[in-house]
Amino acid sequence: MAYVTFPADKPADFVAIGRLCIDLNANEINRPMEETVSFTKYVGGSPANICIGMSRFGMKCDFIGKVADDQMGRFITGYLQRNGIETSHLAVDKTGAVTGLAFTEIKSPTDCSILMYRDNVADLKLQPDEVSESAIAGAKLLLISGTALAQSPSREAVMQALNYAKKHGVVVAFDVDYRPYTWKSAEETAVYYNLAAEKCDIIIGTREEFDMMERFEANPEKDDRITAAKWFDYDAKIVIIKHGKEGSIAYTKDGSSHRARSFPAKVIKTFGAGDSYAAGFLYGLMKGWTIEKSMEFGSAAACIVISSHSCSDAMPTVAQVEDYIARSNRGEITAS
Ligand SMILES: Nc1ncnc2c1ncn2[C@@H]1O[C@H](COP(=O)(O)OP(=O)(O)OP(=O)(O)O)[C@@H](O)[C@H]1O
Ligand SMILES: O=C(O)C[C@@H](O)[C@H](O)C(=O)CO
């Protein structure tokens, strides 16, 4: 059963809007940041990672965002281009804003953190009039990501993108992607996340992210079913709640639920799991697969990324994900 119907006659498959930044991932893993001396530079930011993932899967992708007018901004644009992503809808900041940096600390496979440098970043300066209506009208699926709602004018740019998507019958997916930095308060976060989520067809978040959105509501048991049910009174058709290694659960508007286990993985670091899961799941859905098969594909894509050093660069191809599922089913992959 198709829970979401994607428009057929569009020149592009997928357009994402929001954060583009740099990940500097520690080369010396299993060490605190204080003792780390070298890092490898990658393109980062959740929506950028998801877009790169979709492109690796063979989807025709476009990105709407803003980069700094510096070497880092040009590195990001070039990387997207080399990955086959349309970059003509990227604005270039002219106010002296910088590229956001995410230094990753990998103390152990389960103890990872991100040290952010996000003052005066270009991605949050995207203006509503820099959001291309034709880019959104020309895609089957728009992905928005929560961090872009943290500040104006990026917040209004995302709301504008949602308006264009509604006007042109584009399916909207929302990855909650809650990162505490750049938000001023938990109340502000909940207000804007809820405003955006009301307009989305597919909502994907972790249990903790939905807890944060439910700040003004009663769900004392943190019941996933109660969390999901609210959104079916708005535009949602699918709500996915992720539980890390415990897997994920999708609720659909018809009242059914669909569970996905996680696969074993030799984990290097856990960040990037959510982005690769989202890319894999959305790819499956766009291919017309069942919810279960799409979730399984996303879960296996996540394992490939968390077993690798980077997020963006490690995004797998379809063949790599299929191979991971097959090897796991044959018992050839064990957890770390
Ligand atoms: N340790 C793990 N082993 C195997 N699979 C995992 C592990 N951690 C996460 N996953 C897979 O990735 C999916 C998404 O992970 P998670 O719930 O941690 O999302 P997230 O918190 O958004 O990720 P991120 O750390 O990128 O922000 C899970 O549903 C699961 O399939
Ligand atoms: O912006 C961040 O929070 C870090 C990212 O750059 C990183 O690539 C990521 O989001 C992984 O999920």
pLDDT in tens, 112-145: 899 999 999 999 999 999 999 999 999 999 999 9
Query: How many Å lie between the centroid of ligand 2 and the Cα of residue 22?
Result: 8
Alpha carbon distance 173, 313 (integer Å): 23
The pLDDT value recorded for residue 215 is: 87
Instruction: Among 122-126, 219-223, 275-279, name the one with the lowest average pLDDT.
Output: 219-223
Is residue 178 within 8 Å of 207, Cβ to Cβ?
A: no
- What mean pLDDT comes out for the span 227-247? 97
The pLDDT value recorded for residue 168 is: 98
> For atom 17 of ligand 1, which residue has the closest CA?
244
**327 pLDDT more than 90:** yes
Band (pLDDT 50/70/90 cuts) for residue 110 is: confident
Band (pLDDT 50/70/90 cuts) for residue 217 is: confident
Alpha carbon distance 16, 136 (integer Å): 9
Q: Is the dihedral of CA 212, 174, 314, 296 positive or negative?
A: positive
Band (pLDDT 50/70/90 cuts) for residue 95 is: very high
Instruction: Among 27-31, 168-172, 184-188, 249-253, name the one with the lowest average pLDDT.
Output: 27-31
Looking only at Cα atoms, what is the longest distance across the chain?
Answer: 55
- What mean pLDDT comes out for the span 274-285? 98
Cβ(280) to ligand 2 under 6 A? no
Sequence-distant (≥ 6) Cβ neighbours of residue 161 within 8 angstroms: 17, 64, 131, 136, 142, 144
**323 pLDDT more than 80:** yes
**233 pLDDT more than 80:** yes
Query: How many Å lie between the centroid of ligand 1 and the Cα of residue 295?
Result: 12
b/e code 291-319 from CB counts within 10 Å (16+ = b)? bebbbbbbbbbbbbbbbbbbbbbbbbeee
Q: What is the pTM of this model?
A: 0.98
Specify whether domain 12-20+45-62+126-329 bears CATH 3.40.50.620: no
Query: How many Å lie between the centroid of ligand 2 and the Cα of residue 233?
Result: 31
> For atom 2 of ligand 2, which residue has the closest CA?
45
Specify the ligand 1 atom closest to the Cα of 243.
17
Give the ligand whose atoms come closest to the C-alpha of residue 23: 2
Query: How many Å lie between the centroid of ligand 2 and the Cα of residue 119?
Result: 16
Domain definitions of the chain by residue range: 12-20+45-62+126-329
What SS3 class is residue 250? strand
Cβ(21) to ligand 2 under 6 A? yes
Query: How many Å lie between the centroid of ligand 2 and the Cα of residue 44?
Result: 5
